[in-house]
Structure 1
């Protein structure tokens, strides 16, 4: 089972009803308690991606929470990070970049060298496209959630087209008759950053 990141929020649904929403530990414990009492399947979603995930709910509450907590080695570096180069104490990790010779020539004559120039280029690109990247991520999260929870609901295809066309008015109109918790959650995923 893949490690569940503690950051971000998660939402659990039991049927078409929202069960819990919040940090991983809170949602996992709510799911565990409800799963014991209910016979219905419960689906948990990572709100950052809109994809369904599984929590390992075996054992006592403290064991469930311990499995959700990242280990110190997971917090400091990715498991496949190469060792040796970079400045690990500052979070700098060496990676390989493949460029054409003309790109390397240009980078090598920049003040501070190739690394400084590349960092500046990446930061500028992030600033320039930050809003569009967040909108795309929100739209994709909403679509992943919709596909799982609303794929068989009326107007799903048209609502998907409106979502990808960024036609908020049409989108919300098409999903108005969906179950309230599903409708409210998909709108939250798609548009919460754009009030």
Structure 2
């Protein structure tokens, strides 16, 4: 099966992809695969992070799908305002009050900033996000690919060398090392690793 690009979830029966898409679609495909091969080992991954997803496969296909909660619709400003506890923050603007711990010198510096501590912290976070966007994207891609490869290809030839190539940003070497892996495992690992090799000049 050809996995859907940028699928939210992806399921493997052994080395073979048996479903990709939203969790309901993937769980349905995975349960159908189990119906044909009851002793099969099915793993479902988050398509972005490669975290394993636990699905209860007991019962029929409809039973399995029915146990998976529906994704929550995006919250509106009104929903946010109603759900947010009363107190500090501006719920209608999406501002949430949380606790952070700083040393006295940090609080002293923040108190001297224009707009106060909250404004200064938001500016610092936004600046750090902008400055680190490229490195964060690479790191998250490396972590997702590593997590998937460790689970699905840890015993495959050249696994350790492929991991080193991944973290070194060596795309040609990486592709060469995983070329002989089972097609679905190889292709998904390569897809996860793409952002790790697109480094900014």
Q: Same fold (TM over 0.5)?
A: yes
Alignment of 1:22-37 (within 5 A): 22-37=21-36
**Number of the residue aligned with 2:3:** none
Match of 2:143 among 135, 140, 145: 140
Distance, in Å, in 1 between the alignment partners of 2:64 and 2:31 is 12
CA contact 2:171–2:197 (8 Å) conserved in 1: no
Answer whether contact 1:82 1:93 (CA < 8 A) is retained: no
CA distance change for structure 1 residues 131 and 65 in 2, over 3 Å: closer, same or farther?
Answer: farther
Alignment correspondent of 2:168: 165
| Cα distance, 1:160–1:194 mapped onto 2, change above 3 Å | closer
CA drift of 1:194 comes to 5.9
Corresponding residue for 1:182? 185
Q: Which residue of 2 aligns with 1:61?
A: 62
Pair 1:112–1:47, CA change in 2 (3 A): same
Q: 2:37 matched to which residue of 1?
A: 38
Against the structure 1 CA distance between its residues 56 and 182, is the aligned structure 2 distance closer, same or farther, given a 3 Å change threshold?
same
Inter-partner Cα distance in structure 1 for 2:154 and 2:87: 48
How large is the RMSD of aligned CA atoms in angstroms? 2.8
Q: In structure 2, how many angstroms separate the alpha carbons of the residues matched to 1:85 and 1:165? A: 45
> How far apart, CA to CA, are the structure 2 residues paired with 1:67 and 1:87?
33
SS of equivalent to 1:173: helix
1:98 corresponds to which residue? 101
Counterpart position of 1:12: 11
**TM-score after normalising by structure 2:** 0.81
